Homo-oligomer: A and B are copies of this chain.
Amino acid sequence: MEGGGVDHLAEERQKSRFDVDEMKIVWAGSRHAFEVSDRVARLVASDPAFRKDNRNLLSRKELFKNTLRKAAYAWKRIMELRLTEEEAAKLRFFIDEPAYTDLHWGMFVPAIKGQGTEEQQQKWLPLAYKMQIIGCYAQTELGHGSNVQGLETTATFDPQTDEFIINSPTLTSSKWWPGGLGKVSTHAVAYARLIVNGQDHGVHGFIVQLRSLDDHMPLPGITVGDIGMKFGSGAYNTMDNGVLRFDHVRIPRNQMLMRVLQVTREGKVVQSDVPRQLIYGTMVYVRQTIVSDASSALSRAVCIATRYSAVRRQFGSQKGGPETQVIDYKTQQSRLFPLLASAYAFRFVGEWLKWLYTDVTQRLQANDFSTLPEAHACTAGLKSLTTSATADAIEECRKLCGGHGYLTSSGLPELFAVYIPACTYEGDNTVLLLQVARFLMKTVSQLGSGKQPVGSTAYMSRAEHLMQCRCSAQRVEDWLKPDVVLEAFEARALRMSVACAQNLSKFSNPEEGFAELSADLAEAAIAHCQLIVVSKFVEKLQQDIPGQGVKQQLQTLCFVYSLHLLHKHQGDFLSTGCITPKQASLANEQLRSLYSQVRPNAIALVDAFNYTDHYLGSVLGRYDGNVYPTLYEDAWKDPLNDSVVPDGYHEYLRPVLKQQLRNARL
C-alpha cells in the first residue's frame, strides 16, 4: 500500500498465485467497505497531526495531552470533511490510539440509546452527538468487576425532593477503570443499586453529571481522578481510566435510565412493557464488535511477523550465499501460518456475528426471544475464544520476530499491551466460557425432550449419530473434505458436553458439581466455540467468491485453521474416540503439506489486509521490507543518544572507574 523506493519483498509478491485486490475486498467485507477503509486509512497516514511513532518517548502527561489534541483535531476533520458515521468510526480506528471518544461513542451513547426512554433520548442524545457533553460508562468498581450484581454504589430515591441520592458507601464501591472518566468526561452513565423505600431493586443505570460545563471542575460530592499507569509505555496510558466516588450526590429522578424499569413520582417501581431481554441484545452488539477487533489486532501482528519472516535470514547458508529466509523453516510456518489462518477465520466469524446481531434485533422487535439465549451464549463464547487466541498470538508473533520483536519499534509490544485488556473487559474470558458451558448443559439436558436445539447448537439434534460415528478419514487427502473435518469437530464438541453432563449428574447438588467440574466445562465450551468458527469458515466457502485463486487460498486457510486445532487439541479428539491416532497422524501430515501451499502466498495474504505503514506502526512490518537501515537510523533518535557521553557519567560512572566512590555523593 506504500509507494516509492525499492521493494525488498517484490519477489515474494510475485510468487503469489491469487488476485490480491479481490482478496482485499473479501477481507474488507464489501467493495464499499474496502473503499471507505482505504480512503480513510490514507487520510490518517498522510496527516502529520496523527503521527504516533514518538509515543513511547512522551511522559504520561505529555502523552495524554497529545491524545486530547488528536481527538479534538479528528473531531474537527470529521466536521470539515462532513464524514459519515461509518467514515468517522474508521477515522478513529486508524488513528489507533485509545481515547475518551471510544467510550463516548462506543458506550455512553449506546447506553442511552438502549436503556433510555424516548424522552431521555431526545434530551441527551443531541448533546452527546455534538459533544456538548462527553460521557463515559461507569460500571466496574474497585472491588467488583465481573459480578455486576455485586456492585455496591447506591441510588436511593428521595420522595421529598423527587431525586436520587447517589452514594459510594465503601472504599471498594469506588468506581474504578471506566475509560474517559478520570480527566475528561462531563457526564457518566453510572450503575448503582436502586433503593426505593428501603428496598433494593438491583443494579440500574443513571445519568450523572460529574463536572461543571463552565470550568470542568468536579461538581460537589464528586471525587474523580485517574487510576495511574497501565501495561506498556504508550498503549492504554493515553486513556484516563478513572476512579470516582459519590458523596450523596443528588440527581433528578428523570436521570435514571427508565426504558425497562421506572420509578414514579410517588416512588412506585414499575416494570415497563419493554422486555428486559433487550440488554442481552446490547451485549450481543458490543461483543460482536470485540470479535471484529480481534481479527484486526491479530491480522496486524501476523502482517508484521510474516513480512519480517521473509526479510530475516538465519542459518542454512550454502557456500557463502545468503542464509535461509526464516519463513522457509517448518517450525516458523507451523507457528505462523495457523495464526494467519486464524486472522481470516476470526474475520469471517465476526462478519457472521454482525448478521446474527441484526437477526436477533429483528426478532426482539417482533417479541421473538427464542434464539436469544443461543445468540447470547454464542457471542459470549466467541468473544472469549477470539480475544484469548489473539492476545496469545500477538506475543507469539513477537517471538517469531526474534530479538528485534522486543524493540518498541517492532510495534508488537505496543500492540500486545493495548490489546490484552480485551480478555478481561466486557466479561472475563473464563467467566464467559462457564456461561457458555451452562447453556450447553441445559441444551444437552433437553435433548430428546422435543425441544430442538437452534442456531450454533443445531448439530446437537444429531446427537445419536454424533455419539457413535467414526471418522472416515483413511488417507491424507480425506482431511481436505469439509464434511469429514466438520463431523470430527461436531462429534468432539458434543461428546465433551455429554461427558460433562454425565459427570454432573453424579452430584446430588448440581451447583456443587458445576463448581467442581468447571475446568472440564470450560474445555467443553472451547470445543463448542471452535466448532462455530470452523463451521462459519466452511459456510463462507460455500458462497460465490470472485477473483482468480481467491477462493482456493481461503480453502487452504480454512483447513490450516481446522487441522492445526485438531492437532493442538488432539487429546480431546482421541479421548472421546472421535478420531484414531492413525487419523490424527494423517491430519498432521496434511497440515504440513498445507503449509507448503501457504508459503508462496503468505506475503500477498497479509498484503490483503491493506494496512498502511502508519497503521502497522512497525519497522519490522514495513511494506517495502527495508528493515535494517530503518532500525539503524531509528536507534539514534533515542534521547539517550542525545550525547555520546551519557548524563550521569560524572556523578555515577567516573567515580566507579576511578575508584573514587568513597567520597561520592550517591
Q: Verify if A280 is at the interface (C-beta below 8 Å from B).
A: no
- Least distance between A127 CB and chain B CB atoms (Å): 10
Q: Verify if A374 is at the interface (C-beta below 8 Å from B).
A: no
Contact: A639 with B61, CB < 8 Å? Answer: yes
Chain B's closest residue to A100 (CB) is: B653
Q: A228-B635, A664-B72 are in contact. Are A518 and B329 (CB under 8 A)?
A: yes
Contact: B65 with A646, CB < 8 Å? Answer: yes
Contact: B60 with A640, CB < 8 Å? Answer: yes
Contact: B72 with A240, CB < 8 Å? Answer: no
Q: Verify if A655 is at the interface (C-beta below 8 Å from B).
A: yes
Contact: B407 with A216, CB < 8 Å? Answer: no
Q: Verify if A84 is at the interface (C-beta below 8 Å from B).
A: no
Q: A330-B518, A331-B522, A420-B406 are in contact. Are A229 and B314 (CB under 8 A)?
A: no
- Least distance between A314 CB and chain B CB atoms (Å): 5
Contact: B634 with A171, CB < 8 Å? Answer: no
* CA A329 to CA B147, docked complex, whole Å: 14
Chain B's closest residue to A414 (CB) is: B231
The interface of chain A, by Cβ under 8 A from chain B, is: 49, 56-57, 59-61, 64-65, 68-69, 71-73, 75-76, 79, 130-134, 140, 142-147, 150, 171-172, 174, 176-177, 182-184, 186, 213, 215-218, 224-233, 236-237, 240, 243, 312-315, 317, 323, 329-331, 334-335, 395, 398-399, 402-403, 406-409, 413, 417, 420-421, 423-425, 428-430, 434, 515-520, 522, 567, 569-577, 581, 584-585, 588, 592, 628-629, 631-632, 634-642, 644-649, 651-659, 661-662, 664, 666
Residues of B within 8 A of A402 (CB): 145-146, 424, 428
Contact: B174 with A632, CB < 8 Å? Answer: yes
Q: Which 5 A-B pairs have the closest CB atoms?
A: A570-B571, A571-B571, A65-B648, A334-B519, A68-B652
- Least distance between A619 CB and chain B CB atoms (Å): 10
Chain B's closest residue to A170 (CB) is: B628
* CA A49 to CA B49, docked complex, whole Å: 41
Among A49, A218, A574, the one with the most B-chain Cβ atoms within 10 Å of its Cβ is A574
> Which residue of the partner chain, among B76, B146, B330, B571, contacts A519 with CB atoms under 8 Å?
B330
Q: A428-B402, A666-B73 are in contact. Are A644 and B218 (CB under 8 A)?
A: yes
Residues of B within 8 A of A150 (CB): 314-315, 317, 323
- Complex A-B: 11 CB contacts under 8 Å: A49-B666, A69-B652, A79-B661, A140-B403, A143-B628, A147-B314, A186-B657, A227-B631, A229-B409, A330-B516, A575-B584
- Least distance between A176 CB and chain B CB atoms (Å): 8
Contact: B638 with A226, CB < 8 Å? Answer: yes
Chain B's closest residue to A58 (CB) is: B59
Contact: A628 with B172, CB < 8 Å? Answer: yes
Residues of B within 8 A of A662 (CB): 76
- Least distance between A41 CB and chain B CB atoms (Å): 21
Residues of B within 8 A of A519 (CB): 330-331, 334, 592
* CA A522 to CA B567, docked complex, whole Å: 14
- Least distance between A75 CB and chain B CB atoms (Å): 6
Contact: A228 with B330, CB < 8 Å? Answer: no
Q: A76-B664, A142-B632, A639-B61 are in contact. Are A520 and B229 (CB under 8 A)?
A: no
Contact: B652 with A71, CB < 8 Å? Answer: yes
Contacts A142-B628, A171-B628, A230-B407 known; 18 new A-B pairs at CB < 8 A: A60-B640, A65-B646, A71-B656, A72-B652, A131-B657, A133-B657, A134-B656, A144-B314, A146-B402, A150-B314, A225-B635, A225-B644, A228-B408, A229-B233, A330-B519, A569-B571, A570-B571, A575-B584
Chain B's closest residue to A629 (CB) is: B171
Residues of B within 8 A of A522 (CB): 331
Contact: A408 with B313, CB < 8 Å? Answer: no
* CA A653 to CA B644, docked complex, whole Å: 40
Contact: B69 with A323, CB < 8 Å? Answer: no
Residues of B within 8 A of A226 (CB): 635, 638, 640-641
Contact: B233 with A640, CB < 8 Å? Answer: no
Residues of B within 8 A of A629 (CB): 171
- Least distance between A73 CB and chain B CB atoms (Å): 4
Residues of B within 8 A of A572 (CB): 570-571
Residues of B within 8 A of A225 (CB): 635-636, 638, 640-641, 644
* CA A649 to CA B110, docked complex, whole Å: 25
Q: A147-B314, A331-B518, A403-B425 are in contact. Are A228 and B409 (CB under 8 A)?
A: yes
* CA A76 to CA B665, docked complex, whole Å: 11
Q: A229-B408, A638-B229 are in contact. Are A314 and B581 (CB under 8 A)?
A: no
Contact: A516 with B592, CB < 8 Å? Answer: yes
Q: A228-B409, A656-B131 are in contact. Are A647 and B518 (CB under 8 A)?
A: no
Contact: B659 with A132, CB < 8 Å? Answer: yes
Q: A323-B147, A652-B65 are in contact. Are A407 and B75 (CB under 8 A)?
A: no
Residues of B within 8 A of A395 (CB): 395, 420
Chain B's closest residue to A224 (CB) is: B644
Chain B's closest residue to A72 (CB) is: B652
* CA A383 to CA B537, docked complex, whole Å: 39
